[in-house]
Copies of this chain bind each other. A is one copy, B any other.
Amino acid sequence: MRKEMFGHEISVLRNTFRRLLRRNAHINLRKIIQKTHPADLAVLFRYFTDLEQKTLFDLMIENEHTAEFLTELDEAIIITILENEEPKRIAALFQNLGSNDQAEILNLFPEERTNSILVLLQKEEKQEVEEIMGYPEDSAGSIMSVDVFTLNVNTIAKDAIKSLQEQKEAEMVFYLYVTDDNGRLVGVVSLRELVTTHPEKTLGHIMTKNVASVQPETDQEEVAKIVSHYNYLAVPVINLEEHLLGIVTIDAVVDVIREEATEDFLQMAGVGKDREILLKSPWENARARLPWLFASWVGGISAVAIIGIFENMLQTTIALTAFIPVIIGMGGNIGTQSSTIIVRGLATGRVDVGNNLKIILKEIQVGLILGVLYGILLGCFAAIKFMDATPMLGFVVALSILSSMIISSFIGSLMPLLFRRLNIDPAIATGPVVTTSIDIIGVTLYFLIAAALIPVQ
């Protein structure tokens, strides 16, 4: 199958830009910037130094092309190039941006700087932006487009088409939203229905009633679930008075789905949730990852303490040491399997509140099946290899693998479900905190079983 053609085009462009940058060919750079798709430009910027980014951005004109480029750009790079930019130029750039995109950029700045830009906006625009900035992060309100095309329920199709032709601002018109005399959202008409209907019919006649909608406070993950589940192209955002505040379009939803998946991946590995971690310096990387590794450290010290308790036993049966890595490894891996399946099931809606117990029981069964299998495999190996040391070693190892795999699959499936109920991101459940706990439990069990079964010499 064809792959990488997309990556190939980017890498050709990158080399062209680099060559022109090296030659300081500003006129050619200006030309190629305008000819490059804004989304491609945004990707290219990841490969340039801060200085190169600044040079290129200075060559850009305050037009729609540059505005679209800004909406596609990584936050870390937006900060770099706009940090020292004149508020005037930023305000000029904003004229081609939707209010939600303006709000998103302003949220990256310190308050003082935000205010210095806000005062330069037109009154109406300023109001809209401030309203959006007031919505919680990652809510429907923060990702909605406010330029929506609405018409009164009594408009006839012919006139609706005429208004549509005059309308410029509303982006991505998929649906026409229909409101009653009090401004309440009462229905929706698809562009196709409008075009294919009798020109004298009112929108009230052709619209679909019972429009699914969300509130501005609805979490963006929930919005994404609704849009993708029902195959919508956009979902309206309404307030408690049922007034239409904006719409969340499917292209915003695509971004949300990608972003939420990335955050889950990073959380699961214990890297925090900064999606742009690849753009950050080694120091910033280390700082983000340090606290999660601290769990390993605490776990490690606990293991030292636990093993210390059994020092006498170890002295007489040194062979016990050799199986510590495999007990930890098998438990850790099956635990990660269980929690990953469930974390992903929660994210995609396959796991919900109704079937938790069944899922945990199933995971325990899986732990039992695999524990018996690998317990026997490893127990036999231990018994044969260390036949002269102690005849019980094989049995101890087998029993430890079995119990550690059952407990690990139990904890691995329980934790994400528990975290969800406590409103903690379940993705954390597969991270170092939980895996380290599983390690400790595994080692403790192993030594307890050994102490119980191996006779003191």
Contacts and interface: CB of A to CB of B under 8 A. Distances in A.
Interface of A: 1-7, 10-11, 14, 37, 39-40, 43, 46-47, 136, 138-139, 161, 164-165, 173-174, 191-192, 195-196, 214-215, 217-219, 221-222, 225-231, 233, 250-251, 253-255, 257-258, 261-262, 264-266, 268-271, 277-278, 282-283, 285-286, 289-290, 292-293, 295-297, 299-301, 303-304, 307-308, 311, 314-315, 318, 321-330, 332-334, 336-337, 339-341, 343-345, 348-355, 359, 362, 365-366, 369-370, 373-374, 377-378, 381-382, 385, 430, 432, 435-436, 439-440, 443
20 contacts: A1-B217, A2-B219, A3-B218, A4-B353, A6-B229, A11-B353, A14-B354, A43-B229, A262-B344, A269-B430, A270-B337, A285-B362, A285-B366, A289-B370, A293-B330, A296-B333, A297-B374, A325-B443, A329-B435, A333-B436
Nearest to A252: B231
B3 A341 contact: no
A251 B251 CA distance: 10
A37 B230 contact: yes
Task: Tell me the number of copies of this protein.
Answer: 2
A345 B261 contact: no
Given A262-B344, A348-B258, A381-B301, A370 B286 contact: yes
B286 A366 contact: yes
B326 A325 contact: no
A350 B100 CA distance: 24
Nearest to A2: B218
A363 to B, nearest CB: 8
B254 A2 contact: no
Given A262-B348, A300-B378, 16 more contacts: A1-B138, A6-B222, A7-B349, A11-B354, A14-B354, A164-B192, A165-B195, A165-B196, A257-B258, A265-B265, A265-B340, A269-B340, A282-B366, A299-B326, A303-B322, A332-B332
